[in-house]
C-alpha cells in the first residue's frame, strides 16, 4: 500500500483522499448542489429584548386582567411605564450615536478617560461598562496619530504583517522546515510542490490602504444600515465566509477584498472537498474576486484541507488569490495580545485580521465586533447577524478582545462602530 500511495502524486492524494488511492475511484463533479446556510436565506427567531433582564431589574410580566376595568388599568400601568421608559432610553442612545460633540472637547476627553480608566474587564460591572461606552458615543471619533503610530510600531517590531502575514517564496524558501503554530513538535518540510503554491512575495505593503473596514459577524451589526459605509472603504476584510446576500448587504455590505476560511467549515459543510468541490466554489463566487486566506499551518489537520482549496480553485481556473497564514506570524500575534490581557487557546479570526489591518491600513474601522448577549442599550441580540449559534466555550476570549477594542477606540487607534450608521 505504501508503494502504491507513493506512486500517486501528492496533489491527487490531498484532493481525493485515501478512498481514491485505495479503490482507484474517479472524481466526478457534483452539479446543482445546494448547501444550507450559504445562500443567506437563514431564518432565526428575532427575540431581542423579549427575554428577562438579568441585572436585577423587575420584569414587565403580563398579568391576568381583573373583572373591574379600574383594577385592570392599575395592573397594566407599570408595564406601560416600563415600555415607555425603554423607548425613551433607546431614543436617547440613538441621539447620542450622532456624535454631536467634538473629539477634543473637554467633555469628550473625560468620557474617553472613563473607558481607559477601566484597566481590566473585571473592574466594573458589564452594565457600567456599557453605560460608559454609550456615553462616549456622543463624541465624534478622530484618529490620534501619535497613539496610532506607536501602536503600529509595536506591531511592526513583534509581528511585521507586511513581510510575514502569509507564507511566501521570499520568507519560506523551498527546503524550509516549517514549524506548526500549535503542534510545536510538528514540522512540515516545504517541498518544491508546496513551494509552488506560495506567492513570490507579500501582496500587500505597509499602510498601502487609506481606509479599511474589518467586518465581524456579531449580531450587533444587524439593523445597523452600515452596508453603504462599509462598501465605501478602500479595503474590506471578512471572517469565515459569512453570508452577504441581499438579505444582509444593507447592514454588512457586499464588498470583500480578503476573506478568511476556517478549515473546520470545509470539513463540516463540504466533506473536506473530497466530493463537494463545486458547491464550495459557488460559495466563494459570492465574494467576487476577493483573496482567500487559510490557517494551513495552524496544526497538521488543517494542512491537507487548506491545500485542497488551492488545488480546487486551480482546477476551476480561478484567478482568486489563495494565501496561507505564516505560523510564526500567528504565534507572534498571540504573544502580543497575551500581554494586553487576551489569553485564550486561540485568538478569533477577527482579531487576527484587525491586527493585520493595523499595519496594512492608515485608518481602521471595525463593524460587527461585540462579545456580549446584549447591545450597549441592554437589548438582547443574536450571537451572529445570521444565526444564534454560540462558540465553543473557553476556546476564544471574545469579551477581552472587545474590551481591548474599546480602549483602542477611546485612544483614537481604531474606530469601533456599535450603533446605526448615518
The x, y and z cell numbers of residue 216, run together, are 465581524
Q: Largest Cα–Cα distance of the chain, in whole Å? A: 90
**What phi and psi values does residue 138 have, to the nearest 5 degrees?**
-70, -15
Say if residues 47 and 380 touch (Cβ distance below 8 Å): yes
Burial class (CB in 10 A: 0-12, 13-18, 19+), 175: exposed
Alpha helices in 24-123 (DSSP H): 69-96, 106-116
Query: Which positions ≥6 away from 313 have C-beta within 8 Å?
Result: 281, 284, 292, 320, 322
- Active site (annotated) includes residue 396: yes
Query: Which positions ≥6 away from 131 have C-beta within 8 Å?
Result: none
Query: Which positions ≥6 away from 304 have C-beta within 8 Å?
Result: 14, 272
Give the bridge partners for 361, in sequence order.
209
Query: 269 vs 73, 245, 262, 272, CA distance in Å?
Result: 54, 19, 11, 8
Neighbours of 260 (CB within 10 A): 21
The x, y and z cell numbers of residue 20, run together, are 481514491
Neighbours of 296 (CB within 10 A): 28
Neighbours of 99 (CB within 10 A): 16
Alpha helices in 285-386 (DSSP H): 300-315, 327-339, 349-360
Pick the catalytic residue from 384, 396, 407, 417. 396
User: What's the number of CA atoms in the CB half-sphere (13 Å) around residue 4?
Assistant: 8
Q: How many helices (H) and strands (E) does the chain have?
A: 16, 9
Query: Which positions ≥6 away from 72 have C-beta within 8 Å?
Result: 65, 66
Residues known to be catalytic: 396
Amino acid at each position: 500500500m505504501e508503494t502504491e500511495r507513493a506512486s500517486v502524486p501528492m496533489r491527487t492524494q490531498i484532493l481525493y483522499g485515501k478512498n481514491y488511492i485505495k479503490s482507484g475511484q474517479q472524481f466526478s463533479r457534483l452539479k446543482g448542489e445546494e448547501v444550507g446556510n450559504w445562500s443567506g436565506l437563514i431564518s432565526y427567531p428575532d427575540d431581542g429584548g423579549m427575554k428577562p433582564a438579568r441585572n436585577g431589574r423587575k420584569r414587565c410580566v403580563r398579568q391576568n386582567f381583573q373583572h373591574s376595568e379600574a383594577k385592570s388599568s392599575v395592573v397594566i400601568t407599570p408595564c406601560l411605564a416600563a415600555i415607555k421608559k425603554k423607548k425613551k432610553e433607546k431614543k436617547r442612545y440613538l441621539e447620542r450615536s450622532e456624535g454631536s460633540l467634538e473629539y477634543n472637547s473637554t467633555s469628550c476627553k473625560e468620557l474617553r478617560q472613563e473607558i481607559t480608566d477601566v484597566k481590566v474587564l473585571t473592574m466594573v460591572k458589564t452594565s457600567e461598562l456599557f453605560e460608559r461606552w454609550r456615553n462616549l458615543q456622543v463624541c465624534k471619533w478622530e484618529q490620534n496619530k501619535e497613539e496610532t503610530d506607536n501602536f503600529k510600531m509595536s506591531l511592526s517590531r513583534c509581528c511585521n504583517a507586511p513581510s510575514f502575514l502569509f507564507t511566501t517564496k521570499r520568507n519560506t524558501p523551498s527546503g524550509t522546515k516549517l514549524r506548526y503554530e500549535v503542534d510545536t513538535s510538528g514540522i512540515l518540510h516545504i517541498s518544491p510542490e508546496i513551494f509552488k503554491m506560495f506567492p513570490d512575495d507579500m501582496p500587500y505593503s505597509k499602510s498601502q490602504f487609506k481606509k479599511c473596514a474589518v467586518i465581524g459577524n456579531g449580531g450587533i451589526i444587524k439593523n445597523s444600515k452600515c452596508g453603504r459605509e462599509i462598501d465605501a472603504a478602500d479595503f474590506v476584510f471578512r471572517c469565515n465566509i459569512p453570508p452577504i446576500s441581499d438579505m444582509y448587504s444593507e447592514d454588512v455590505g457586499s464588498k470583500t477584498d480578503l476573506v478568511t476560511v476556517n478549515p473546520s467549515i470545509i470539513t463540516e459543510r463540504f466533506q473536506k472537498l473530497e466530493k463537494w468541490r463545486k458547491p464550495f466554489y459557488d460559495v466563494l463566487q459570492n465574494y467576487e474576486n476577493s483573496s482567500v486566506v487559510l490557517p494551513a499551518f495552524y496544526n497538521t489537520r488543517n494542512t491537507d484541507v487548506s491545500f485542497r482549496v488551492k488545488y480546487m480553485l486551480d482546477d476551476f481556473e480561478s484567478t482568486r488569490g489563495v494565501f496561507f497564514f505564516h505560523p510564526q506570524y500567528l504565534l507572534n500575534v498571540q504573544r502580543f495580545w497575551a500581554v494586553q490581557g487576551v489569553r485564550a487557546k486561540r485568538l478569533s479570526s477577527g482579531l487576527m485580521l484587525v491586527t493585520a489591518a493595523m499595519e496594512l491600513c492608515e485608518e481602521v474601522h471595525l463593524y460587527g465586533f461585540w462579545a456580549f448577549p446584549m447591545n450597549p442599550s441592554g437589548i438582547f441580540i443574536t450571537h451572529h447577524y445570521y444565526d444564534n449559534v454560540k462558540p465553543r466555550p473557553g476556546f476564544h476570549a471574545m469579551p477581552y478582545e472587545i474590551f481591548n477594542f474599546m480602549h483602542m477606540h477611546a485612544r483614537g487607534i481604531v474606530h469601533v462602530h456599535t450603533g446605526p450608521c448615518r
